[in-house]
Structures are given as structure tokens and as C-alpha cells.
């Protein structure tokens, strides 16, 4: 979403929010609460279909704009991390396949599961979103148009976008990031429902 800040994964990267500096011990109980998301039904009173579609995407955009998804969709060769989206430490770069360079692959540190004692996030598919899917520094309207463009979304149609955002396990990491990271807003199920409703109402995008 974060996820995010996949994906070719739309929503995820090599450092979606790893802790920095000294190693921090963290437990799931220490995870801060995240704000919620409104449901698609909350937008039913908007009579204009395109306006309702834009409002639905704006609500889903609370996930897309979160550090959990944004850190995963950097605009350069270096991922970011943390709530302030600072450059990843130690210095790593995306490499030819978005999973690091031969001497320092993402999986050198990021394993199949989040390692709570060190606060290092993990997932079997950990890696950076392709540069074509960069979200950082772009408006929600620009990201919306990008998400609909097969040339910039991993060659997905809208049905595949709905499936990816609503059910993909790597995207789902954004709601269970471990450590002291703030999860993406709401739940993946609610996020997926908003994307479903957005597509059903014409997939209109907010102004850039």
C-alpha cells in the first residue's frame, strides 16, 4: 500500500522501515497504533461517480502515503527507512534486479521473517520496487495515474491491481511491520475494499 510504502512488487523494498543506528530490541507489543481507514460505504452519499471514485482513492492514499509504502518505492537507487524516510543505513543500492548488488543483497540482512531482537524487517520476497514504480516525491494524483499504467505498474490490469493490493503477502507486511514501526493505516482488507470500490467506480484519479 506502504505492503509501504510491494511488487515487480507495487508496494515493497529492501528497507521498508528497518531500525537505524544502534540495534534495538523490540516486541510486537511495542508496535504503535496506526490510524484507521474509512470504509467504501462511507462514500456512498457522494452522488457523482467520478467524484466518489476520487474520494475512495484519496482514502486509500493514506496507506500509499505512509512510510511503510513510501520507503518501499524510492525515487532513486537507494531505499529509505524509518518514519522520517531517511536514507537506508548501511548504504545499499538497488542493483540490476532491485534486490541489491552481488556483494550486498537485500537478503544479506532481510530474512524470510522480521527478526525482532534486532528490529530488522523481513519477508521472503524482500526487495525494492522497480524504479518505474517510484512513488516518493510524487503527488497522490500522479501515483494514481502510475498505478493504472501497465508500463509503470508491473504490467498489471486493474483486476490484478485489486488482487495485488488486497491480498499480496508482501503488501500485507505493511500492517505487521514489527519492531517500533507504525503500521500502515487500517487493515489490508479495508485497503483492498477501497481499491475494489475505486476500480468499480471508474478508477478516477485525484488532481495531480
Query: What is d(CA 17, CA 77) in angstroms, rounded to the nearest whole number?
Result: 16
Query: What pLDDT does residue 179 have?
Result: 86
CA dist 26 and 120 (Å) reads 10
pLDDT at position 12 is 36
Burial class (CB in 10 A: 0-12, 13-18, 19+), 40: buried
CA–CA separation, 94 vs 128, rounded Å?
7
Q: In this predicted structure, what is the pLDDT of residue 62? A: 97
Burial class for 8, CB neighbours closer than 10 Å (0-12, 13-18, 19+): middle
What pLDDT sits at residue 144?
A: 98
What pLDDT score does 208 carry? 77
- Per-residue confidence (pLDDT) for residue 181, from 0 to 100: 92
Per-residue pLDDT of the chain (208 residues; tens, 9 = 90+): 433 333 333 333 333 444 333 223 333 344 566 679 999 999 999 999 999 999 999 999 999 999 999 999 999 999 999 999 999 999 999 999 999 999 999 999 999 999 989 889 999 999 999 999 999 999 999 999 999 999 999 999 999 999 999 999 999 999 999 988 999 999 999 999 999 999 999 999 999 7
Tell whether pTM > 0.85.
no
Amino acid at each position: 500500500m506502504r505492503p509501504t510504502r510491494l511488487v515487480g512488487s507495487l508496494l515493497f523494498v529492501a528497507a521498508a522501515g528497518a531500525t537505524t543506528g544502534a540495534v534495538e530490541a523490540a516486541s510486537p507489543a511495542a508496535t504503535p497504533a496506526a490510524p484507521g481507514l474509512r470504509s467504501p460505504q462511507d462514500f456512498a452519499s457522494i452522488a457523482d461517480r467520478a467524484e466518489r471514485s476520487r474520494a475512495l482513492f484519496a482514502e486509500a492514499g493514506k496507506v500509499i502515503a505512509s512510510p511503510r509504502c513510501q520507503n518501499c518505492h524510492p525515487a532513486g537507487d537507494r531505499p529509505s527507512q524509518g518514519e522520517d524516510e531517511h536514507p537506508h543505513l548501511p548504504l545499499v543500492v538497488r542493483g540490476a534486479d532491485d534486490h541489491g548488488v552481488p556483494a550486498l543483497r537485500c537478503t544479506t540482512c532481510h530474512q524470510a521473517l522480521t527478526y525482532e531482537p534486532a528490529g530488522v524487517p523481513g519477508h521472503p520476497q524482500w526487495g525494492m520496487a522497480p524504479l518505474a514504480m517510484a512513488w516518493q516525491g510524487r503527488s497522490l494524483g500522479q501515483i494514481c495515474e502510475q498505478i493504472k499504467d501497465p508500463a509503470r505498474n508491473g504490467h498489471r490490469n486493474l483486476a490484478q491491481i485489486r488482487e495485488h493490493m488486497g491480498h499480496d503477502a508482501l503488501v500485507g507486511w505493511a500492517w505487521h511491520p514489527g519492531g517500533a514501526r507504525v503500521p500502515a493505516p487500517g487493515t489490508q482488507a479495508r485497503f483492498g475494499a477501497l481499491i475494489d470500490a475505486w476500480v468499480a467506480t471508474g478508477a478516477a484519479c485525484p488532481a495531480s
